Each structure stands twice: as structure tokens, then as C-alpha cells.
């Protein structure tokens, strides 16, 4: 199978290239940049890949569709909708890592992404690829955001089974620096990140609406959630600490059993035994999501800790998982299930 990768220069694109290189169903990776891209060696674009001989060529939609069986877009929000629209209209298979087609409501996209949305007809053709739950994929798959993936996988069992007060969801999410991408900013300099914690995009993070869109699809009674993001001084990893009020008194053991039931056929979701909570090292380097659950009977509060590697399960790894499902391959094909440790 020949695949196109548009946008290899970013962190997600770089990791995606590595995963595609080792995927047994992929025979050839064709790299494309922007429309005005000068033909450039991959080794120049990604210095870490000095031994690769691939070239990054200009993006031409008709060429991409002629030369490939499927396309991955690892381009930025706003860029993707312009480049990918001809492929979407032609029903050409696409896995899109940007946020351009995750939201069904164009007004919501404009509010949270601060730019015009794609046309309504185009948005309607895209499917939201939360791989553990949304198996009925269209040809155009909108890969979920990293924070959204960690948070939704953490909340799914209690939301789908109405085990909580729907008005009580509080999420304290923390991410490593690679989640911010390669763009330079004062807040991402070593002197700001090292030995420091920084809250950012308070009540303004663009993953909030896609989290709400999916939660309300599962349970319309959920009106909102409190969602806070913090930058932590690590390279990779997301930890979402989720606090919800139980609808009825319960136990940690009962909740763990519910989570195990929900994810019993999910190869990439690990539900830890009662009394155990995950760390970033539990998952970094893998496509796994690890979940720990605890119930406090005094406050009737359920704590769910969800951890993922933001560049794997939160981006490139889930993109491959969606690719496997779209192409009727086993979910685990070409994906690491063991973390990088130590």
C-alpha cells in the first residue's frame, strides 16, 4: 500500500513517519509539503532522519490521489481544511491529525479556533475517530486531540453508564512540552519550562468543544465541564486527573470492574487494579492509555487518572490505529504496545 504524509516536519508528523516506516502493510511513503514547497530532502526537514533518502515534494491534490491509497495530514489547523478539501469531496481515504474537521458545528470551530470553519457539507462527511468507540468511520477520519483522547477514555465508562452527577466534571490535565509543537514561544523556552509549572489557555483550550461534543453524544444531560491545562517540564506525556461526583454510593472495586468491562476488548487501554494509579512512564513510547480509579466515600468523589503519550495515542499512534480500522487490519498492526522504559 502506498500512503501520503502531508506535514512531516512537526513532532506528530515525524513520529507518524517512523510508525509508517515499520508498518507491515505500507510499501511506500510519499511525502508532501505545502503547495509552494520546494523539493527538499527529508533529512533537511527532519535532521534526526539523516539516513533517510525520501524527498518532500509540493502538495498537489490530484497527484496525491493518483500516487497513493490513503493520505495522512499532519498539518496545522486552518491549513488542513484548504489542502484536504479536494480529497474529502472525492471520498479519498484521509486520516487528519488537525482539528479542522473534528467539530460538527462551524460556529463552535470559529469560536475556539479563531478562524473560519470548513463548509457544513464538508464537516458532515468527516467522522470523529476516537478509536476505542467510533468504529463506523467515513472515508475522512478526524483524529481526536491529545487532551480529548485522554479525557474521553477516562470518562467514557462513568458517562455511558450514567454513574455520575452530570454537572460535576472537573478535569485537571497536564502535558509535556512536545504537545505545544515546534513553534517558538517565550513560554516554551528552557528557562520557563525547567523547574516550573504553567497553566495556559484557561477555559479556552480548543479541545474543550470536541470533548463536550462526544460527552453529549454519550449523555446529553452533561451541560459543561471545568477543564484546566498545565504545561509540565517533561518532553512527552499527558495526565488527565478527572474528578466527578458519584450519582450513588459505590466502591473503587465496583468502578474498576465497570472500567474493565468497558475496555475488555480494547488492546490499547490498560485498567489498573484497585489501589494503583498510573504514571507517565506507564505509557510513554506506546499507543496505550492507562487508567487508575479511586473512590472517596467521604466526599462521594470519583478520581480517574488517565495517562497517554501525547505524540502516540494522542496523535500519530491513534492515527495508525484509525488507519488500521479503515483498512480492515488488526488494530495493533504496526503499533508498539510496550512503553519505553526506563
Q: Which stretches in the chain have pLDDT values below 50?
A: none
Cell numbers given for 275 = 489501589
Domains and CATH numbers, the chain: 2-124 (3.40.50.720), 147-310 (3.30.360.10)
Q: What is the pLDDT of residue 36?
A: 87
Q: What is the pLDDT of residue 183?
A: 73
d(CA 302, CA 146): 22
| Beta pairing partners, 127 | 141
The pTM of the full predicted model, rounded to 2 decimals, is: 0.96
d(CA 46, CA 67): 23
Tracing cell 512540552 back to the chain, one arrives at 177
C-alpha 150, offset from chain centre: 8
Residue from 87, 122, 142, 146 carrying the catalytic annotation: 146
Quick check: bond before 342 cis, omega within 30? yes
Nearest to residue 33, comparing CAs of 93, 74, 78, 87? 74
d(CA 211, CA 217): 10
| Beta pairing partners, 29 | 3
Cell numbers given for 138 = 467515513
Nearest to residue 81, comparing CAs of 110, 38, 111, 56? 110
d(CA 302, CA 307): 16
Q: What is the pLDDT of residue 307?
A: 98
Does the active-site annotation cover 289?
A: no
DSSP code at position 275: T
- Pairing between β-strand 198-200 and β-strand 226-231 as defined by DSSP bridges: antiparallel
Q: What is the pLDDT of residue 221?
A: 98
d(CA 50, CA 62): 29
Length of the chain: 342
Amino acid at each position: 500500500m502506498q500512503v501520503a504524509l502531508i506535514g512531516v516536519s512537526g513532532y506528530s508528523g515525524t513520529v507518524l513517519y517512523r510508525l509508517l516506516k515499520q508498518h507491515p502493510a505500507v510499501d511506500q511513503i510519499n511525502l508532501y509539503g505545502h503547495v509552494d514547497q520546494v523539493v527538499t530532502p527529508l533529512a533537511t526537514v527532519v535532521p534526526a532522519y539523516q539516513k533517510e533518502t525520501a524527498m518532500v515534494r509540493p502538495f498537489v491534490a490530484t497527484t496525491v490521489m493518483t500516487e497513493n491509497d490513503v493520505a495522512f495530514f499532519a498539518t496545522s489547523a486552518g491549513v488542513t481544511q484548504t489542502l484536504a478539501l479536494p480529497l474529502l469531496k472525492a471520498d479519498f481515504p484521509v486520516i487528519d491529525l488537525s482539528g479542522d474537521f473534528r467539530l460538527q458545528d462551524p460556529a463552535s470551530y470559529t469560536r475556539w479556533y479563531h478562524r473560519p470553519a470548513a463548509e457544513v457539507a464538508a464537516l458532515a462527511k468527516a467522522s470523529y475517530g476516537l478509536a476505542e468507540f467510533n468504529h463506523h468511520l467515513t472515508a475522512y477520519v478526524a483524529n481526536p486531540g491529545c487532551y480529548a483522547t485522554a479525557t474521553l477514555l477516562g470518562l467514557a465508562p462513568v458517562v455511558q453508564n450514567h454513574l455520575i452527577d452530570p454537572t460535576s466534571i472537573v478535569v485537571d490535565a497536564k502535558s509535556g512540552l512536545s504537545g505545544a509543537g515546534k513553534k517558538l514561544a517565550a513560554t516554551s523556552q528552557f528557562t520557563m519550562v525547567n523547574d516550573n509549572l504553567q497553566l495556559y489557555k484557561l477555559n479556552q483550550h480548543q479541545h474543550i468543544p470536541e470533548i463536550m461534543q462526544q460527552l453529549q453524544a454519550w449523555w446529553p444531560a452533561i451541560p459543561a465541564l471545568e477543564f484546566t491545562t498545565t504545561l509540565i517540564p517533561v518532553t512527552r506525556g499527558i495526565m488527565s486527573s478527572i474528578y466527578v461526583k458519584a450519582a450513588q454510593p459505590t466502591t473503587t472495586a465496583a468502578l474498576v470492574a465497570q472500567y474493565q468491562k468497558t475496555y475488555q476488548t480494547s488492546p490499547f487501554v490498560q485498567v489498573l487494579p484497585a489501589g494503583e494509579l498510573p504514571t507517565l512512564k506507564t505509557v510513554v513510547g506506546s499507543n496505550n492509555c492507562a487508567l487508575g480509579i479511586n473512590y472517596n466515600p467521604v466526599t462521594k468523589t470519583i478520581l480517574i487518572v488517565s495517562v497517554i503519550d501525547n505524540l502516540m495515542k494522542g496523535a500519530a499512534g491513534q492515527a495508525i490505529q484509525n488507519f488500521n480500522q479503515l483498512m480492515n487490519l488488526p488494530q495493533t498492526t504496526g503499533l508498539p504496545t510496550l512503553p519505553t522504559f526506563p
